[in-house]
Amino acid sequence: MKHKKFGSKYILRLDKGEEITGILKQFCKDNSIKLGTVTGIGSTNKAVVGLFETETRTYHSKEFTGDHEIVSLTGNISTMNGEIYLHLHANLCDAKHNSFGGHLNSAIVSATFEAVVDVIDGEVEREFSKDIGLNLYKIQGS
């Protein structure tokens, strides 16, 4: 992974064989980024994408293999229990231009992945919501 900083933004390039979610999380740790947003595009040949089923409060994940464009990756950076927490979604497109998307659990770069990390000065912690079944932003007041 290569990166360059411009003000509060980082431009990143991940190369073939690198795993996107793990590298992004480590990048945030290494650069003390506790709050921000992530956007990106690129390609993958192995990705795991999930969908949260609200009725049962469970994730269902599916692995996609073969050539896929990462048409759009978007997400946010926060913390939970003092650790970096990434919440990423991705839209993938296959060779027939079928599109699939959801919560990105992992993805291996097949050619390149380009991202922008926009850092927000601050910190927002997450906490598990028993009512919803997800880790939600812990925001108090208005």
Q: What is the CATH number of the domain that holds 108?
A: 3.30.1330.80
Any domain includes 78: yes
Amino acid at 41: I
Any domain includes 49: yes
Any domain includes 142: no
Cα 127 to Cα 109: distance, rounded to the nearest angstrom: 31
Condensed to tens digits (0 to 9), the pLDDT of residues 43-56 reads 999 999 999 999 99
Interior CA angle at 52 toward 27 and 43, to 5°? 45
Q: Where in the sequence is the domain holding 103, given as residue range(s)? A: 2-137
Cα 96 to Cα 66: distance, rounded to the nearest angstrom: 12
Q: Which two tokens stand for residue 107?
A: 């993805």
Condensed to tens digits (0 to 9), the pLDDT of residues 56-112 reads 999 999 999 999 999 999 999 999 999 999 999 999 999 999 999 999 999 999 999
pTM, entire model: 0.94
Count up the domains in the chain and report the number: 1
Q: What is the pLDDT of residue 140?
A: 80
> Quick one: which H or E segment has residue 70?
strand 58-80
